[in-house]
Amino acid sequence: MINPTQINDSVMQRFSRLMANHRLAHAYLLVGPKDSGKTQTALSLAQMVNCESESPKPCGECTACRKIISGNHPDVHVIGNDETESIKIEDIRFLLSRAHLMAYEAKTKVFIIRDIELMTLEAANALLKTLEEPEANTLMILTTSVPEIVLDTIKSRCHTVKFFSSSVNRITQLLIDEGVKDQDAHFLAFYSEGCMGKTRKLIKQEIISRRHKVLDEMLLNRNNDSFLKDLSADPQEAVQALRLLLSFFRDVLLLKCGVSITELAHQDCLKEMEKFAARGFEDLSLIIRQIVQAKELVDENLNVRMSLSLLREHIWGN
Ligand SMILES: [Zn+2]
């Protein structure tokens, strides 16, 4: 399904100009943070090259557009997912077999390969051949959030398109229009670094109520033994809590350095932040180091209970 709020408009305008000038390449590598709308934009591009209406393309209404939206177009394929599973040689073999065939009904066959950093070496080598000798009327769109680990040989055969997060202000406004409280909308937009996809994920994970709980327990309640015990028993909860704390203390440091409150994710906690900002840099970096260390322990599946207690002591100034 295509979610229009996640399509990157400026990238689409660029593709639209290229298509109007008959200058679309046969392979693109979309590079951008996770959940920044790369797949949605790739699907929108698949629609644009196959749209049956005169203009504007994609119309979203014609048969081709609708089939692509519903994932039922026989010539538009999405390979790979956002799980950690790698893209295997069989996936690429399937792609190659399709790429060689005549299109069923599309003007341009489109292959979208998501998160290509997860591709096995064997699969990458098979894909390279297709990129070197492109089939006519075939468009390959690869996506990645970690271009550093994508093979240079693949990168050099694709045109790279960089995605930047949609603006934090735009997301804040969008969420407010949807009925989210002002301060929560502001936090969500900042905490997701301006990625709408990430914002939606965070809302699903009930990040707002978790944030209140974590900040209340860690900053206002010194007798939080049972909270720490629950956290140590649940690695996922622990990681999320530690991330929230890290972003809070990052804000404290920025505030201390004179950054405007409107630029901070936790702007609704000004009183608490000012209290901590009054402490020394060394003291604050110690807290931040403690949070990072605790997160490393959770990542390594080690017991985090002692580290969380230590962190509490640092936060309370002991
Ligand atoms: Zn259309």
Residues in Cβ contact with 70 at an 8 Å cutoff, skipping those fewer than 6 apart: 1
Query: Predicted confidence band at 5 (pLDDT cuts at 50, 70, 90)?
Result: low
| Number of CB atoms found within 10 A of residue 315's CB | 17
Among candidate residues 154, 183, 174, 148, the one with its CA nearest the CA of residue 5: 174
Q: Kindly report, residue by residue over 177-209, the tens digit of the pLDDT.
A: 999 999 999 999 999 988 888 999 999 999 999
Query: Predicted confidence band at 146 (pLDDT cuts at 50, 70, 90)?
Result: confident
Please give the residue that has the higher pLDDT: either 118 or 218. 218
pLDDT reported for residue 199: 93
As given in the structure block, the two tokens for residue 118 are: 């997860």
pLDDT reported for residue 95: 84
Distance 63 CA to ligand 1 centre (A): 7
pLDDT reported for residue 84: 59
- Kindly state the average pLDDT of the residues 109-128: 91
As given in the structure block, the two tokens for residue 234 are: 């649940």
CA distance 214 to 135: 54
Q: Compute the chain's Rg from CA coordinates.
A: 23
Q: What is the mean pLDDT of the chain?
A: 89
pLDDT reported for residue 180: 95
The four Cα atoms 53, 55, 58, 60 give a dihedral, to 10 degrees, of -60
Distance 58 CA to ligand 1 centre (A): 5
Distance 174 CA to ligand 1 centre (A): 26
Distance 167 CA to ligand 1 centre (A): 28
Ligand 1 ion: residues within 5 Å (CB):
51, 53, 58-59, 62, 65
Distance 220 CA to ligand 1 centre (A): 55
Distance 157 CA to ligand 1 centre (A): 29
Q: Kindly report, residue by residue over 51-77, the tens digit of the pLDDT.
A: 999 888 999 999 999 999 999 999 999
Kindly report the pTM of this predicted structure.
0.62
- Kindly state the average pLDDT of the residues 72-94: 83
- What is the pairing mode between strands 138-144 and 159-162? unpaired
Distance 49 CA to ligand 1 centre (A): 9
Distance 163 CA to ligand 1 centre (A): 24
Distance 60 CA to ligand 1 centre (A): 5
Distance 23 CA to ligand 1 centre (A): 20
pLDDT reported for residue 25: 94
CA distance 112 to 98: 13
CA distance 154 to 31: 13
Distance 53 CA to ligand 1 centre (A): 5
Distance 70 CA to ligand 1 centre (A): 13
